Structure 1
């Protein structure tokens, strides 16, 4: 975002570039099928190299052409490797249908949120002491190194032996109505959360402290890690739909409070509290998707959750970028909070009528 903004001096273009990267995630389920058919080792490394090359081009090419920058970012997103779904396939292989799977998914979400904790801190330091392009170049290097490290593990070799037969363009788990409902929920949650991230950047930019945005985002990651650790240790008896309603409600309250914060430190504290809901939201979504889909479609179902998240994030980033160019970031926080509050209320009202998986019926997955 800051690299494109630095080149074009427009948050609208920067938000559109982020949106282009996220929209390219529509290819993620197909890439996941390629991983299932040809193994993590054969598919993930070339994808990572191509994606990193696109990010490096954006970082170090001396161009101010907004259209070209958005296109290159979108192409880079097209090749982004599906690391999360591949990792969760490995977790399922290790834990099976035991009570360890919820903890494994929580660990997965916590690790990912820890990246959002450490990544923004590193990015903030690099932006403060060097520049946004240097931070983006570091992201490209870390993507390649991490991917090659992942596929070098024995577990990745074991997953590589699995094969999926059938038509490549088959809709697969999207046929399941319950999964489609979860995807709609994740889509709206991601849109609201993405608006918040862009608004954090807008507040920092308005105060001439762009690097501070990384520290506020790290606070969200810290809250998410704490929330994930706490969630994994609890025994849950309510349905996944009730859990989603409560967690989204907590996130909505945090965003509404953020609309009133003008000090970056206060904003960081408020967003850290809101972040408590983030990791548990994904744990609940992954478990619900597993319960709704047959075993041979669970990797792809997990990928669709990531895809819905990316699409929602893209829409939110694009809208927020345009809005910040025309109004105050606080209005973006307010709009996102209202959106999520309405979503939480709707889920709470209709959850009793939704047929779906409940942790109480699958206690072996949710016991501490």
Structure 2
């Protein structure tokens, strides 16, 4: 996999017409999502005086993410220009009520947080849909997706740190109000960018939205979504078992450092991956990256040394961003032209669902056995997924036009 000799700089992606005009607002809007968890958690806690209420509010916001494909489908049907502003305002109003009106009723706070989650605009899938439009006719799509994924990873890596500073310097409600402002600026900026204003009416999906009529009906996309769900499950189990191992050795802070190292590895891996010239098929790329992660988890299961675990997982982290790049590009290629936003959103949905299931499963393992069994279970799940991907490679490597 040599370094691409034809176009070797991410600058070429950003030099595309309207790329910066679209990408900068997308990053601004997504930075709101990176700041939101801690801001919302502590804002609700301050008002309700209960971490139970705060946790329930945050869970309500997160659970609403299951509606992501529905919102993405609306964008495919009605354009970003029409859909993003409406969703952004509907998401911003409940958060603004929490930050400004400051109700103390726990049930009302949970309802407001859940309402914000229901309406939260799918800025990530929308930006990837814009990249699809911006890179059409060029060899830059994979590189654009790599840049997008690594920037998003960086935001979520630094978001909690920035939120922590804001909570100390300001207050949770002030931080939540900043989330509202960033979300509105980002969504409205994307909605007024050239790719959002372009709309081809004749290619819009006809009829009402249904699950069976969406891109998830394609066997290849279902395989990608299933692979991401299991991978996210394994990664979430790893994070939980890492925290349990560090806590059991009286060094809980080490878990945070290792997670940061995994995130940094992912950023580096994504940037390098985007500059590689890769001839392997989609299924081969997906299988190799998942296997790389699985082997790292397997090594972590063989020891209780936090240093060895940290090194193993940091190296394995190199595959995380590339895995999502491959998955997003595959979802884009396997979906019809008029359903790209929804197709990409299924990858996000699978990741969120897998993370939730993995945390729950790892909790059960840690409470009833050793954390190393959790690492091993995650590794086995990923390696079994590799086998499934290889056995089903025809559906993944065949484009819709050829099916």
Q: Structure 2 length normalisation: TM-score?
A: 0.71
Deviation at 1:357, TM superposition (A): 4.3
Give the 3 Å change call, closer, same or farther, for CA 191–64 of structure 1 in structure 2.
farther
8 Å CA contact retained: 2:328, 2:344:
yes
Q: Which residue of 2 aligns with 1:296?
A: 338
Among 67, 72, 86, which residue is 1:46 paired with?
86
**1:249-292 residue CA offsets vs partner (Å, 9 max, x unmatched):** 333444566676787x9987665433322211111112222332
Bigger shift: residues 230-239 or 77-86: 230-239
Choose from 112, 129, 144 the match for 1:104. 144
Which stretch has the larger CA shift, 131-140 or 17-26? Answer: 131-140
Q: In structure 1, what is the equivalent of residue 15 of structure 2? A: none
Structure-1 separation of matches of 2:165 and 2:305: 22
What is the number of residues matched between the two proteins?
352
- TM-score, normalization: structure 1? 0.77
1:30-61 CA-partner distances (Å, limit 9, x unpaired) = 21232233321222123123323444556674
Please identify, of 19-28 and 76-85, the stretch whose mean Cα deviation from structure 2 is larger: 19-28
| C-alpha distance after superposition, 1:159-204 (max 9, x if no partner) | 5878614112232212211211211111122233344556677789
When the two chains are superposed, the root-mean-square deviation of aligned CA atoms in Å is: 4.1
Give the counterpart of 1:335 among 374, 383, 388: 374
Q: Say which SS state the counterpart of residue 277 (structure 1) adopts.
A: helix
Whether contact under 8 Å (1:192, 1:316) holds in the other structure is yes
Q: 1:237 corresponds to which residue?
A: 279
Structure 2 residue 182 is matched with structure 1 residue 139: no
Find 1:222's aligned residue among 264, 276, 280. 264
Q: Distance in 1 between matches of 2:91 and 2:170?
A: 23
User: Gapped runs of 5+ residues in structure 1?
Assistant: 362-368
**Aligned pair in 2 of structure 1 residues 105, 335: CA closer, same or farther (>3 Å)?**
same
* Alignment match, 1:355: 394
CA contact (8 A) 1:89 1:159 kept: no
Inter-CA distance 312–13: structure 2 relative to 1 (3 Å threshold): farther
CA distance in 1, matches of 2:309, 2:94: 33
The 2-side partners of 1:179 and 1:172 are apart by: 11
2:205–2:338: 8 Å Cα contact kept in structure 1?
A: no
State the Cα deviation string for residues 68-124 of structure 1 (Å, max 9, x = none): 555443322111101112111111112125421111111121221121233133123
Distance in structure 2 (CA, Å) of the matches to 1:98 and 1:72: 44
Q: 2:316 maps to what in 1?
A: 274
Alignment of 1:1-368 (within 5 A): 3=41, 7-9=49-51, 14=55, 17-56=57-96, 61=102, 63=104, 65=106, 69-96=109-136, 98-127=138-167, 135-158=175-198, 164-170=204-210, 171-196=213-238, 217-255=259-297, 272-317=314-359, 327=367, 331=371, 335=374, 338-348=377-387, 351-358=390-397
More RCO (CA 8 Å, sep 6+): 1
Work out whether residues 262 and 314 of structure 2, in 8 Å CA contact, stay in contact via their aligned partners in 1.
Answer: yes
Q: Is the 8 A contact 2:238 2:378 kept in 1?
A: no
Report the Cα distance in structure 2 between the residues aligned to 1:240 and 1:230, rounded to whole angstroms.
18
- Matched residue, 2:16: none
Distance 1:175 1:165, change over 3 A: closer
* 1:306 positional shift: 1.8
Counterparts of 2:96 and 2:304, CA distance in 1: 35
Rate the CA distance shift 1:241–1:256 in 2: closer, same or farther, 3 A.
same
Which structure would you say has the larger Rg? 2
Gaps of 5+ in 2: 1-36
Q: Tell me, in whole angstroms, the C-alpha distance in 2 between the residues paired with 1:202 and 1:54.
A: 35
* 2-structure distance, mates of 1:217, 1:137: 28
